[in-house]
Structure 1
């Protein structure tokens, strides 16, 4: 997989870390927020039920283009076409439906098949960048230019803030969506444009893409896409998440041992995930410890 999937995809590939995506995205978004930064933008795409919408002909064609043997592709066809769906009505299974597209959730093959499909979006963007139609963002003169980051169906795209590049990216997304069957939910996607771009050009970009503009993407892979001066406010969602989980458990009659297990196994893993990339404020730690002690 490492030899056929581009370096921009970090999901399900041995030796690649999701934290790399998080840190690269954070640096680029911080660069776009900085005053005086070159005109650039960041798009966070929202795929509507991505696994359920993959067209099988596109998948088989993708496998062939990636160099898989005909016999292997035939086995994949048998695996995904043998599935069936039933409806549960009044606790009874009713009817049988044979799907004609999509990848089964929970199947260990599905994530790998999906990233092979999304690899072609990465290759198209890389080729268009090589041809000079779009220009990725470099956070420093000696830094490499980054045009996109992928983690399964989580997609970030970076390029120059001008109408011609916006139209090129819009055409790429439309072509890929039509071929793959994936539907991009533009209303739930977000577009962040650097402060140095004038309002007139920004309006043209928003019109060309059809994506609403935002000051900053809220979260990327479960962590803040950017952190302002008020670090407590940026990471307060961790405390809120822990508080909400505890409120749901309080209605149950849990023993002391049961509560300790939930704290150690479930609740402590919530801040630990974010702490793999960021240092949390001490005041937030104190409040989280107080909530856990009260539980």
Structure 2
């Protein structure tokens, strides 16, 4: 993946490449996690052509090819005909934000209560499980510390959770601890 980073860096230095507006200040072109990558650029054909050239160069050298069934492109604030040209050129399928990656919502905006609904539902499901209902006070406290807070910490380490979500989680944990 180091080679992909170098290829994308070279590509971003070309005069016809334009960064995504939210990535311009930092000159961010991509993120890589394990065998997944996200590439960012302005949604114009010239920039996307450069990205595809970089990916093709990477593929030619490493013999690694993107899986078109798992590859998506996110296009916004563009004319439909421009989007159609880009989709045809890349072969990727169009997707819209927010999406989930590793169980977490990916969004270009701050998370809201709706995006965190799954977190509250996971905690509620753990509380409602049959084994958890029959615990003593100390057992319920262990469930809260070991299971519920680990779920909460996983999400909280990635993003700042809305205050309303935190209050809802606190309320559910208090009710569970009280035996309700």
- The TM tier, using the shorter chain, reads 0.7 to 0.9
TM-score, normalising length: structure 2: 0.75
Measured after TM superposition, the shift of residue 239 of structure 1 is: 1.0
Q: Separation in 1 of the partners of 2:64 and 2:97?
A: 25
Corresponding residue for residue 84 of structure 2 = 203
In the alignment, structure 1 residue 219 sits paired with structure 2 residue 129: no
Instruction: Give 1:167-246 correspondences, 5 Å limit.
Output: 167-177=49-59, 179-195=61-77, 197-220=78-101, 222-226=103-107, 231-246=112-127
Asked if 1 retains the 8 angstrom alpha-carbon contact of 2:20 and 2:40, the reply is yes
Match of 1:144 among 26, 30, 37: 26
Gaps of 5+ in 1: 1-117
Instruction: Mark the CA change 1:252 to 1:178 in structure 2 (over 3 Å): closer, same or farther.
Output: farther
Name the SS for the 1:268 alignment partner.
helix
Instruction: Mark the CA change 1:238 to 1:200 in structure 2 (over 3 Å): closer, same or farther.
Output: same
TM-score, normalising length: structure 1: 0.49
Name the SS for the 1:149 alignment partner.
strand
Measured after TM superposition, the shift of residue 201 of structure 1 is: 0.8
Q: Separation in 1 of the partners of 2:115 and 2:133?
A: 34
Cα deviations across residues 25-66 of structure 1 (Å, max 9, x unaligned)?
Answer: xxxxxxxxxxxxxxxxxxxxxxxxxxxxxxxxxxxxxxxxxx
Q: Separation in 2 of the partners of 1:244 and 1:214?
A: 29
Corresponding residue for residue 130 of structure 2 = 250
Measured after TM superposition, the shift of residue 284 of structure 1 is: 2.3
Q: Separation in 2 of the partners of 1:138 and 1:265?
A: 41
Measured after TM superposition, the shift of residue 209 of structure 1 is: 1.6
Q: Separation in 1 of the partners of 2:86 and 2:11?
A: 18
Measured after TM superposition, the shift of residue 136 of structure 1 is: 2.0
Instruction: Mark the CA change 1:179 to 1:272 in structure 2 (over 3 Å): closer, same or farther.
Output: same
In the alignment, structure 1 residue 120 sits paired with structure 2 residue 16: no
Measured after TM superposition, the shift of residue 241 of structure 1 is: 2.4
Measured after TM superposition, the shift of residue 161 of structure 1 is: 1.6
For the aligned residue pairs, the C-alpha RMSD in angstroms reads 3.2
In the alignment, structure 1 residue 134 sits paired with structure 2 residue 17: yes
Corresponding residue for residue 166 of structure 2 = 285
Measured after TM superposition, the shift of residue 175 of structure 1 is: 4.1
Q: Separation in 1 of the partners of 2:63 and 2:98?
A: 26
- Count of residues paired in the alignment: 175
Instruction: Give 1:49-64 correspondences, 5 Å limit.
Output: none
Cα deviations across residues 72-113 of structure 1 (Å, max 9, x unaligned)?
Answer: xxxxxxxxxxxxxxxxxxxxxxxxxxxxxxxxxxxxxxxxxx
Corresponding residue for residue 166 of structure 1 = 48
